[in-house]
Structure 1
């Protein structure tokens, strides 16, 4: 039986890109919810009087990222393997 790592690698890359995008989206959302605005030149959350607002990543969010990575990489690799068998 031929063992092909390409579907698994593609699944991991897709899931990492998805989590990278999701993290950026959630940081912008949290910045806007806290009353700040995103400075697109520096990618920092800036509040009133040009104060920088630090946004920490809660541990619950890290768990969600791990679940998304595992589920999405498994789903993409299984889908690609099924498409490859056709």
Structure 2
């Protein structure tokens, strides 16, 4: 019996890392669009008057994350399976 768990696990881990990076990128972009600046010491979005700007995760962002996770998990697991079949 072949062990098919490792390619799937690798696909999930890669997709979660990509979504973690994408979330940080999108929040930083939203901060800059709102006229704020990222404080890299605290990882907060600050306005020009040094007030914290609250950035909520929108429904559209959650849908994007789900699509990215499903697509990357499938692609990475299939790629790893094909690479190790030979």
Whether the TM-score (by the shorter chain) exceeds 0.5 is yes
Q: CA deviation at 1:3?
A: 2.9
Report the aligned-residue RMSD.
Answer: 0.8
Output the CA distance in 2 between the equivalents of 1:60 and 1:28. Answer: 16
Q: Tell me what 1:29 maps to.
A: 29
Q: Tell me what 2:66 maps to.
A: 66
Q: Tell me what 2:17 maps to.
A: 17
Output the CA distance in 2 between the equivalents of 1:60 and 1:37. Answer: 23
Unpaired segments of 5 or more residues in structure 2? none
Matched, 1:50 2:40: no
- TM-score of the aligned structures, taking structure 2 as reference length: 0.96
Output the CA distance in 2 between the equivalents of 1:4 and 1:67. Answer: 22
Deviating beyond 4 angstroms after TM superposition, the runs of 4 or more aligned structure 1 residues are: none
Unpaired segments of 5 or more residues in structure 1? none
Q: Tell me what 1:83 maps to.
A: 83
Give the secondary-structure state (helix, strand or coil) at the position aligned to 1:50: coil
